[in-house]
Structure 1
Amino acid sequence: MNKVLKILILASISLLSVIYIGLMQFQAVKTAEVKEIEIKLTQSNGHPIIAAAGDIACSPTSLYYRDGNGTSNNCHQKATSDILLKAKLTAVLPLGDTQYETGAFSAFEKSYAPSWGRVKNISHPVVGNHEYVTAGANGYYKYFGVAAGDSSKGYYSYDLGQWHMIALNANCSQVGGCESGSPQEKWLKADLAAHKNLCSLAYWHQPRFSSGEHGNDSSYKAFWQDLYAAGVEVILNGHDHNYERFAPQSPNGQPDASRGIREFVVGTGGKNLYHFRNIQPNSEVRNNDTYGVLMLSLEPKSYSWQFIPEAGKTFTDSGSTPCH
């Protein structure tokens, strides 16, 4: 073997070694990228664990639906529902706009049912604006049945562990208003008076405060005033298709560490994601590129939260706070 040939062989071996090492490093990076976020909230001592998100299932006629598998940017309801199946949950809170575009019963059967419908038996939903594109939100009430409450109201309450849970209907024109003195607001005030739990949580679709495309909405100020007066801890909303966590605040949006309510906007259930527009005071954490669900551990005197992203994503948010 001549000297030139030996040099060529050695050079080839060196090049192959470099390529192999590079491929292994690339594979390690890819493996790290798809590693799932560990779910840290687990049931202990009987404390309820819940998961929530809104703005969930694409229309089965959408170009992005693709037999429920979606695309890189749209229709991730299957991926977010996979999180629900892996977690050991007490309850699931669908935060409205559960089925696009019109909330038709046939669409629920084709799109929502094979995804989030897999945890229907532990779901306590609230109705969104898209469900009312179908008259009376009939598709929504037919699909969820008694779990959605009285179809003429859409608001109800229940207890989980030592927590009181309040589901409200933010589609004000459909239920006689949301302002002070409206039938729903009177019901809310009476419900709060009848349930003096140390810890309480309320949820509905459209948020009072949001840095997202829809922004703030004062329509729900009366809800906030009643909930604040009663010492409620947490409010969950959807509507803006992103994740946002606020510091505890008053109904007027003033910081209030001692009695303020912490609001989460969790519009990351799968449909699509929105941009942020006007960043609101007291907004602590925001993300608009990750689908996922918010999990909460409802302990007797406190709560903990963790945002769990779909597989392959790394954004998360977690913390804990004592009840008032």
Structure 2
Amino acid sequence: MNHTHLLHRAGSAALLLSLGACQTPGASSGMTPGAGLPTTSQQVMVGAGDIASCESDRDEATAAMLDGIDGTVFTLGDNAYPDGSAEDFERCYAPSWGRHKQRTHPTPGNHEYHSARARPYFEYFGAAAGEPGKGYYSYDLGGWHVVALNSELSKRGLAEQERWLREDLKAHPARCTLAYMHRPLFSSGLGRDNAVVKGIWEALYEAGADVVLAGHDHFYERFAPQTPEGVADAERGLREFVVGTGGKELYVFGPTLANSEVRLAGTFGLMKLTLEDGAYSWEFIQVGGDVRDQGRGACH
């Protein structure tokens, strides 16, 4: 156990409230946010990506937020820095987000693959991480079908995953579908090219999926519904959220991509989604409790 790390966490949690929350002006969602506690017909998902490092206690601050939010926890990859090793998971991830391991549905990131075949990731999360070596799976929440994907596979592995995804979506023709993975197809980050996930996007778009969550870039960004080609599509487009705000140091933005509606830099926090029959609402909640982005959408 890294006692220095834990003492540093306990001694500086309050300082996180003063971290700058630099917002690049973005278009308002123009929608009414969800309110109150979830009803029996609602399901809550909460999480982020790019999470735990023993070099800071910022993941402890976001884990403390999880302590107060019921529901399914998701991770968007890069769970344990720097290398996704067994030691990284036990010393850095387990004391914070690991408190919620029993309700977590994870995905791996590129840092998990700094360790051979991401074995420590699969060993730490067990069956919840999906089949070892693959790391993709699906589950249902209320009337929603949820798909957890692995953006870090080889070219062959990505092709096999895409075939599996198309079959899975065909077998689960839910009105509302959400997918999440580590790499975003669209991001206003600097120097990122994540075209490897375009096939995933094409399968989701063709099946009429609604929402995609990703991490990898350490900031918060929301896009308007769009096609895999980046064309705005209010009728059938996928709405993407980039939520790389789980605790690892944050990034700055590069040039703004088309269809980007909200961009928040300098802000650690969580995405909370409330899934309903035929609709969903979102809140990006920063450390300290302020809601920095919120809105509501309907399924296709």
TM-score (structure 1 length as normaliser): 0.80
Q: Rate the CA distance shift 1:79–1:87 in 2: closer, same or farther, 3 A.
A: same
Residues in 2 aligned to 1:191 and 1:242: alpha-carbon distance in whole angstroms: 31
- What do the CA deviations read for 1:57-112 (whole angstroms, capped 9, x no partner)? 01x3x3xx3xxxx3xxxxx10000111111122x0111000000000112211111
1:162-217: CA deviation from partner (whole Å, max 9, x where unpaired): 100101110132x7242xxx211110110010000000000100110000135342
- After superposition, residues 110-259 of structure 1 pair within 5 angstroms as 110-173=91-154, 176-178=156-158, 182-259=159-236
Q: Could you tell me how far 1:46 is from its partner in structure 2?
A: 3.6
Query: How far apart, in 1, do the equivalents of 2:211 and 2:114 lie?
Result: 29
Give identity over the alignment, percent: 49
In 2, Cα distance between the equivalents of 1:131 and 1:147?
Answer: 16
1:78 aligns with 2:54: no
- 8 Å contact kept, 1:212–1:276: yes
Structure 2 Cα separation of the partners of residues 289 and 41 of structure 1: 28
Q: What is the aligned partner in structure 2 of residue 12 from structure 1?
A: none
Residue 273 of structure 1 aligns with which residue? 250
CA distance in 2, matches of 1:243, 1:270: 12
Q: Determine the C-alpha separation between the residues in 2 that align with 1:78 and 1:43.
A: 25
Structure 1 window deviating more from structure 2 (44-53 vs 221-230): it is 44-53
**Is residue 127–residue 140 contact of structure 1 (8 Å, CA) maintained in 2?**
yes
> Which of 20, 45, 50 pairs up with 1:50?
45
Larger strand share, 1 or 2: 2
What corresponds to 2:28 in structure 1? none
How far off is 1:314 after superposition? Answer: 4.1
Q: Contact conserved, 1:244 with 1:287, CA < 8 A, in 2? A: yes
CA distance in 2, matches of 1:172, 1:145: 18
Amino acid at match of 2:169: L
Moved over 3 A (4+): none
| Greater relative CO (CA pairs within 8 A, separation 6+) | 2
Kindly tell me: are residues 315 and 306 of structure 1, through their superposed partners in 2, closer, same or farther at Cα, counting changes over 3 Å?
closer
Alignment partners' CA distance in 2, 1:51 and 1:214: 28
Q: CA deviation at 1:40?
A: 4.4
One-letter code aligned to 1:52: G
Cα RMSD of the aligned pairs, angstroms, is 1.7
TM-score (norm 2): 0.86
For the Cα contact (< 8 Å) 1:56–1:77, is it kept in 2?
yes
